[in-house]
Amino acid sequence: MGLVGFFGFLAAIFLIGGLAKGAVAWLLVGGALAIATMLLGVLRLTKLWVDRSRR
């Protein structure tokens, strides 16, 4: 695990140094997808809760 972590750290440094714009774009896309997924989950839970409350 130590070596894997070390190489991951090096890869992160190279990403930040060389492909900062690309990395930021991917982070933004990933963040947007995560937020959308979370919102969909919350909406589904709210819908289920409302349906149960009506019965």
Evaluate the CA torsion angle 14, 19, 20, 25 in order and state its sign.
negative
How does pLDDT run across 10-51, given as a tens digit for each residue?
888 776 777 677 777 788 888 999 999 999 999 999 999 999
Q: How far is CA 43 from the centre of its chain?
A: 18
- Measured CA distances, 1 to 4, 6, 30, 46 (Å): 5, 8, 26, 41
pLDDT bracket for residue 1 (50, 70, 90)? low
CA–CA distance, 55 with 51 (Å, rounded to integer): 7
CA–CA distance, 48 with 55 (Å, rounded to integer): 11
CA–CA distance, 49 with 55 (Å, rounded to integer): 10
Residue ranges of domains in the chain = 20-55
